[in-house]
Structure 1
């Protein structure tokens, strides 16, 4: 088959256009290709990584659906393009029904942008090859031409193949949703809702902004209750106040409630900025959560309601992570893997004569000063300092009298991307690590780590947090595809999940069982219900 030869040929054009009139077999051909590409034993050169039927899709919804299949939480075509550009692995994408898309020109612009990358191969189905596609110098298979048809083989395969969908736009018969009604938009085809919100110039009480903010999480296969929860979390403070109550009622079966939230543009209380990293204050008098933004500024907010508690006086350029120490000070990790120690304004300090006697460096300060090499993740676990590196190793440092004990273990293939821990009896630590390899490992320094991963997905870990709650220890994992996973450590209940819609930058498990999730657009605190 010619298309298989095209996929194997490194010199072939990056784009192959399947064209022809209605009824010429384009849909059957692509159904056959998808069948071949999804077999367990398919060779790498023939594997398809993304398949998005474009009927009824805009460039935005096509990007959302394709991002989901590629393991990303991209929120816009530009985000998808950046994600694909950064991944140098071979990526084959099939896009049927371009001629039935809701915005062919915008979708073609997306196709042209993806075609720039050497690792990408695109198979696009359309009735006629446009000037924009022709400019890509694609391979063209016009199925009206006899050279592409083996009638005898085609007849044998077609007789056993499932009937293809009609060559008409999908979803056209569904009733139009009421864009002001949460129940309606949560229950109707989400692609149709997105298209209508894209075209609308009204706010619809704040539902439009919340829908577009939640992004591709809403177009995934999910229940109306799940969509209601995601919309509830994404509502801005300028939304109709009745919407939160309506969405809460619709989301009651999801097992989560929104305790508080701050989204981009909120004024009262103000949005603290992109939540690149989070850390819970372990100093009992603090009750603060450190929120690190993209400018290296660390703001402090109240764990219970998100109110501002101030900010650290010095920004750290290129900061990537932050960790509260036991005494209330914070360790900030920059993009070069260097740690600095900063004092939290909410932490207690000695006064009077006691302050004059406070001359010795603090335990955390000594541990930070002893760090060697570049770190990629950091966590404070009781009196210990844990950090990971780009080679997948985790080190745990602890003061022992006048010396520093260091435990070391290679736990991941590739960089460590998240660390969390729980303090055990007698000062021992239990450390959880997440990596670029998509694994979450558990390790008690001084002991052999578990041979198998606690969790493993074909998706890197972006954030990790652990806490002791009234119901026992919990672990929260943020994944690169936008999934947040919450589960008990010492029990086997079904895990809880949440998708904010945007890439998950940070998570924080609170001692009362709540969970904070940070993205570039919002900071939301969820409570199990």
Structure 2
């Protein structure tokens, strides 16, 4: 069933691993058409998923008769052999791992964690990279080494990972937000507990779940909760107090900070920059602002409209977006490089891109699960967080 659900989710541009998660992901959008029954999909799973979604009533399901024009059935794949697994037909591997509960040195757990990305058409090296990023900490060194060798042709390499089964350093838990302060990665859990990567939490939990995090130039931590209210940890200032009061009356949807400027997005597509020079505003998006980041004087905003826009407070936003897709932006982070700002963007369908300055300098990655937060680290590395893992990648 998982492979059928993942294929349906990829077709619809959402992230889901179960029929219930697929229904939940579809609730926020308009009714759509879903075509099931492509070659390689299990007919029983197709029929069951079609029945569930038809009862749900928010999607029109069309079951097509698959035409078997592929090669004859192959011998069973060795599920402990990473090279064979990465080169095999992915829906078949998914079904085999669902039937067989063996650990296979951690390969099965990694496949079932990253599976929605793995069933897409791609080279074996890209599958090996996604599996390497999803490996549990208990995976054997031989498996990690084998996947690293197989992933040598991918556009990324894995620098480090953290997951729920890590014991040392402490696991980050479900991550709600990432940012970089004084050159170090800060990780915020859903409850508002904030830590450096390899340290214990050093802030108290919030009364509500965290939506976004930012750090000001004086070291004050800013946390936006799910109701759009601002909470501060650290020295604070009259400016942060004023922004806190403003958001108590007019909740925000996104948050960022740069130097002594605090930026807030709202549900109608506007970005507000609060600073010593007063308030500057722009309206670059159609619909909710879903993510913000800033570096120097450059502000990056992402929206439910799928666009990433650039703005310098006091001026009009640039007329053309940095990038745009037919899918809401869920996370953003910008950081300076020697050639100009680099921008990491994550979308609701599980894709993350790192945009380097210069034409054609874009690298993409899909971890499989939904992405909750991103950050650009030193030397152009990319950190991304899902509900189960935190991964750092280096451009190859």
TM-score of the two chains, using structure 1 as the length reference: 0.71
Q: How is 1:286-297 mapped onto 2 (pairs within 5 angstroms)?
A: 287-293=184-190, 296-297=191-192
* Cα distance in 1 for residues equivalent to 2:271 and 2:231: 19
Cα displacement (A) at 1:174: 2.7
Question: Which whole-Å CA distance do the structure 1 matches of 2:128 and 2:327 have between them?
Answer: 26
1:128-527 aligned at under 5 Å gives the runs: 165-166=67-68, 173-281=73-181, 283=182, 287-293=184-190, 296-302=191-197, 307-343=198-234, 361=237, 363-371=239-247, 373-400=250-277, 405-423=278-296, 429-489=297-357, 491-527=358-394
- 1:470–1:512: 8 Å Cα contact kept in structure 2? no
CA offsets, 1:214-241, max 9 Å, x none?
0210000111111011000001111111
* 1:102 matches 2:42: yes
How far is 1:453 from its partner?
1.5
User: SS of the counterpart of 1:116?
Assistant: helix
DSSP 3-state at the match of 1:308:
coil
Other-structure match for 2:14: 72
Looking at structure 1, the residues matched to 35 and 237 of structure 2 have their Cα atoms a distance apart, in angstroms, of 60
Deviation at 1:511, TM superposition (A): 3.2
Query: Are 1:465 and 1:476, in contact at CA under 8 Å, matched by a contact in 2?
Result: yes
Q: Give the structure 2 partner of residue 56 of structure 1.
A: none
The worse-fitting range, judged by mean Cα deviation, of 202-211 and 471-480 is: 471-480
- Unaligned stretches of 5+ in structure 1? 1-58, 127-163, 344-348, 350-359, 424-428
* CA positional deviation for 1:69: 1.1
Change beyond 3 A, Cα 1:366–1:221: same
Distance in 1 (CA, whole Å) between partners of 2:199 and 2:84 is 36
Question: Residues 440-459 of structure 1, C-alpha deviation per residue, up to 9 Å, x if partnerless?
Answer: 11011111111221111111
Q: CA deviation at 1:250?
A: 1.2
**1:528: which partner in 2?**
395
CA distance in 1, matches of 2:71, 2:333: 41
Aligned to 1:122: 61
Q: Is residue 192–residue 223 contact of structure 2 (8 Å, CA) maintained in 1?
A: no
Give runs of aligned pairs for residues 16-35 of structure 1, distance below 5 A. none
User: Deviations along 1:466-487, whole A, 9 cap, x unmatched?
Assistant: 0012453201000111001001
**How large is the Cα RMSD of the aligned pairs?**
2.2
> SS of the residue aligned with 1:257?
strand
Matched residues, number:
395
Shift of 1:367: 4.1
Structure 2 length-normalised TM? 0.93
Distance 1:80 1:385 in 2: 36
Contact 1:364 1:383 in 2 (8 A): no
The structure having more radius of gyration, on CA atoms, is 1
